Structure 1
Amino acid sequence: MTDAAASSPHLLTRVLLPAGTAPEAWRMLAARGMRALCDGYLAVLLPAYLLALGMGQLEVGLISTATLLGSAAATLVVGAWGHRFAPRALFITAAALMVATGLGFAGLSSFWPLLVVAFVGTLNPSSGDVSVFLPLEHARLAHAAQGEARTALFARYSVLGALCAAIGALAAGVPDLMHRWAGWDRLASMRALFAAYALMGALIWLLYRGLPMPAQGQAVAPPTPLGPSRGIVLKLAVLFSVDAFAGGLVLNALLSLWLFQRFGLSLSQAGLFFFWTGLLSAASQFAAPKVAARIGLLNTMVFTHIPANVCLMLAAVAPSLPMTLVLLFIRAALSQMDVPTRTAYVMGVVTPAERTAAASFTAVPRSLASALSPALAGWLFAFGWIGAPLLLGGALKIAYDLSLWRSFRQHPPREEGLG
C-alpha cells in the first residue's frame, strides 16, 4: 500500500472514531455514509419515479412494502445462518446485491419486475437503514469498542448516516433542475440516479474487501445463535416491531408522497425539506450519547420519542404548510435520538457471542412489521385519507414508548458506562 493510500484510513480513524475503538471500524462508518447519500435521494425520488412510470399511489406503497419484506428475509437469513460464513463474505455479497438493485431500477419500467427487484434488493425507502447491511455492521461495531466508547461509536455511525442522507436528499431535485436548465429528459435523469446507486455499491464492495479477518487486535468471541439472552431479545423484538410498523406508515418515501399530494411540493422542495430534517436528526443523534450519560439509554430512547410523535400527529391536522413544517422539524430534532441509544442498549444487554444474532433478530421483526404498513398507507392515500397514516403512526409509537419503558426500566445493560 502506498503512503497516500495508507494515510487515508488513519486520517478517517482519527476523525471518525472514539478513543479505544478498533481501527477497522472506519470502514463500516464510511460505508454507512456512502449508502446514506443514496438513501437520502432515493427515498424522495422513489415515489416520483414510480408515478412518472405511470404507476399509482397503491403501487408506490406495494413496492415500498416489497423492499422492506426483502430486507427482513435477508436479515433473518443472516441471523439464523450467518454465523456459518466468513463475515467479510457476507459484507461483499450485500454490496454486490446493492449494485444489482441499482441497475435493476435503472433499467426496468414495469411494475412486476420492479416489485421483484425491490424484494430481493437493498433499496431503502425509509429515513434509517433497514437493509441487510444493518445487523452485519452493528455486530462488527459492537466488537470494535466497549462501554461509553461503544455508545459514542454507534452515535457517530447514526450521525454520519443522517448527515449524508440529508446531503443526499438535495440530489432528489437534480432531475427537475436538469430538465429546466438543460432540457434533459426528466425520467432519464431519474434513471441516472439509480445508476449512481449501483456505482456506490461497487465502491462499497471495494471498501469491504479490505476488512481484516479476523478483526485486528480483537479477541472476538465466535458468533452463536441466541442462548442466554433469548427471552429479553424476543421481548425487545416484539416491542420494536410495533415501533417499526408505525414507522412504516411514515417512511420518507411516503412522507414525501404526502407532501406532494397535500401541499403540491416539487421534488426540489421536498429534497430541501428532507435536507433540513436530516441535519436536525444528525444533530440530535450527536447529542444522544451525552443525554444518555446523564439519564440512561432507555430514558433517552423514550423521553425524546414521545414529544416527537405528538408533533407527528399534530402535523397531520395542521392547517397550513408553515405550521406543518415547523412541527415536522421539531419531530426531526427529537425522533432519531433513540437510534444510537437503542442499538447500544441491545448490544449491552446480550452476551458478546450473541450480538450478531441479537442484531438480526431485533432487526427482522422491525423490517417485517414496517413492510406491512407502507401498503396500508398507500391504500389510505388512494382513498383520500392522507392524514390517517401520520395519526395512526404517531399513536402507535407513543404506545410503544410507554410499553418499552415499563418493561425494561429495571433492566440496565451488562456493562458499565452504557447508561
Structure 2
Amino acid sequence: MSDPRRRVMCLVLSAQALRGLGYGLTAVQLGTILHDGGLGPAQVGLMLTAIVAGGALASLALARWADRFGRRHAYAALYLALAGCGALIATGAPPWLLGLAALSGALSVEVIESGPFTTLEQVMLAGTGAADRQVVRGFGLYNAVAATAGLAGALLGTLPPDRRLLGGVLIAVGVTGALLAARLPASVEVHLPDPGSASPPVRSRAIVTRLASLFALDSLAGGFVVQAYLAYWLNVHYQATTTTIGLLFAAVGLLQTVSFLLAPVVANRIGLLPTMVFTHLPSNLLLASVAVAPTFAVAAGLLLARACLSQMDVPTRQAYVMALVPPGERTGAAALTNTARYLARPAGPVLAGLLQPLGAALPFLVAGVAKSAYDLALWRIFRPVELPAGGME
C-alpha cells in the first residue's frame, strides 16, 4: 500500500472511530434527553425526521458540489457542523435551532450510517484506482471499526442521560474530526475536466440508478426486522428476558464485526459480486427461518448463523460501487446509492407494524423473501457487467 493511501486509511479510520463512538452514545441518549427537555413524542419524532432528512439532503448536495468544493473541505465542514450540534445539545438550545442544525446532515442515530460522512469516506478510501484487494480490505476494516466504536459508544450511553456529556462528546468528536480532515493529503481529491463539471454520475447514470433502486429494496426489507422489533418478538414469542436478549445481540454484533473483516478474504477468492450475492442469500434464508423456529435456542442459533454472513455484503457493496464508476463520478454514485438506502429503511418498521395483525412472525418472512429477491435481481442484472480493468470481478 502506498504511503498516501496508508495515510488516508489511518486518518479516515481514526475519524470514523471517533464518530462511531459519538453516534453510539447519541443513539442511546438523544431521545431521552429530548424527552427530559420537554419534547413530546411527536416533537421527538419530528427531530429524528430532521436528522434523517438532513443526512439525505447533505448527501445529495455532496453529489452535486463536493468534488468542486473539495472533498477535504466538505469533510471538515461536516465535522464542524457536528461540533455545532454538540454545542447546541450541551447548552440546552431551543429544539427548533437543533432541528435546523440537524439539517446539515452531521448528526445521526445510526452507528454505521449511510449519510454524507460515509459518502466522502467511501470515495476517499477508494482513491483513484479500481477496487483492488487493498481497497476491499480497507472497506472491511472501515466497517469493523465503526461497529466496534459504536458498541463502545452504546456502552457509554448506559450512564445516566446527560446533555452535557452527549454534547461534550460530540464537540470533541467534531473538532478532532475537522483537524484530522485538515491532514488528509491532496490525493483524496479528484480533478474534474473543467470548473463547471458536476460530480453526479453522467456516463454511469443508468448503472447507478439500478444499483440505488436495488439497494433501496434491500434496506427497506431490512427495516422490517430492526433490532427493537426483534427484541420485542423474542420476548413475546419465547418469553426471553432482556438480559438474555442483550447477550444475544452482543454476540450477534461481535460476529458481524468479524464478518466485516472476513468479507475481503472471500472477495479476493471469488470476486465482489459473488461475495455480495452468495453470502447474503443464505443469510436471508436463515432470517426467514427464524419465523418458524420452535424454541428460543433454535431462533438464537439461526440469528447467530446469519450474523456470520449478513454483513459480508457491506464492504464488498461499497467497493463494487466504487469499481463500477470512473473516479470523477464516484462521489455522486456513493451519495445516490447511500441516500437510497438511508431513505428507504425507515419505512420498514412502519410496514412491519401494519403486518402485525396478520402474524407477529410475518415480518421475518417478508424481509427474507424481499432480500432474497434483491440478491437474485442483483445477480441477474449485474452478472454480465464487466468491471473496468484492474477491478476485482
Is the structural similarity TM-score above 0.5? yes
Structure 2 Cα separation of the partners of residues 364 and 257 of structure 1: 28
2:207 counterpart residue number: 232
* In 1, Cα distance between equivalents of 2:387 and 2:27: 34
Q: Report the Cα offset of residue 298 of structure 1.
A: 0.8
The one-letter code matched in structure 2 to 1:70 is G
Match of 1:163 in 2: 148
Return the offset for 1:259: 6.5
Tell me whether 1:204 sits opposite 2:177 in the alignment: yes
Matches for 1:13-412 after TM superposition, within 5 Å: 21-45=5-29, 64-105=48-89, 119-126=103-110, 128-143=112-127, 146=130, 147-172=132-157, 174-175=158-159, 186-188=160-162, 192-193=165-166, 195-212=168-185, 214-215=186-187, 220-222=190-192, 224-252=199-227, 272-316=247-291, 318=293, 320-376=295-351, 387-412=361-386
Q: TM-score, normalised by structure 2?
A: 0.82
Secondary structure of 2:392's partner?
A: coil
Q: Residue 248 and residue 197 in structure 1: after superposition, are their counterparts in 2 closer, same or farther (change >3 A)? A: farther
Q: Matches of 2:268 and 2:218 in 1, distance apart?
A: 24
Superposition RMSD on alpha carbons, in Å? Answer: 3.7
- Describe the shift of the 1:291–1:219 C-alpha distance in structure 2 as closer, same or farther (beyond 3 A): same
- Native 8 Å contact 2:277 2:313 kept in 1: yes
The AA in structure 1 aligned to 2:221 is A
Separation (CA, whole Å) in 1 of partners of 2:27 and 2:300: 18
The one-character-per-residue Cα deviations of 1:327-360 (angstroms, maximum 9, x if unpaired) are: 3322222111001111111111111211111111
Q: Distance in 2 between matches of 1:20 and 1:198?
A: 28
Task: Report the counterpart of residue 415 of structure 1 in structure 2.
Answer: 389
- Write the letter of the residue equivalent to 2:300: L
Paired with 2:120 and 2:181, the residues of 1 have a C-alpha distance of: 12
CA–CA distance in structure 2, aligned partners of residues 37 and 199 of structure 1: 11
The answer for unaligned runs of 5 or more in structure 1 is 1-16, 176-185
Report the 3-state secondary structure (helix = DSSP H, G, I; strand = E; otherwise coil) of the residue aligned with 2:145: helix
1:57: Cα distance to partner? 8.1
- Secondary structure in structure 2 of the residue aligned to 1:124: coil
Q: Deviations over 1:27-80 (max 9, x none)?
A: 111111222223334445556667777989888776555433321111011102
Amino acid at match of 2:21: L
What corresponds to 2:195 in structure 1? Answer: none
Report SS of the residue matched to 1:21: helix
Q: Percent identity, please.
A: 37
Rate the CA distance shift 1:119–1:21 in 2: closer, same or farther, 3 A.
closer
Number of aligned residue pairs? 386
The Cα of 1:407 is off from its aligned counterpart by: 0.7
TM-superposition CA deviations, 1:280-330 (whole Å, max 9, x none): 112111111121122221111111112222333344554654444333322
Whether the aligned pair in 2 keeps the contact of 1:25 and 1:144 (CA below 8 Å) is no
Shift of residue 400 of structure 1?
1.0
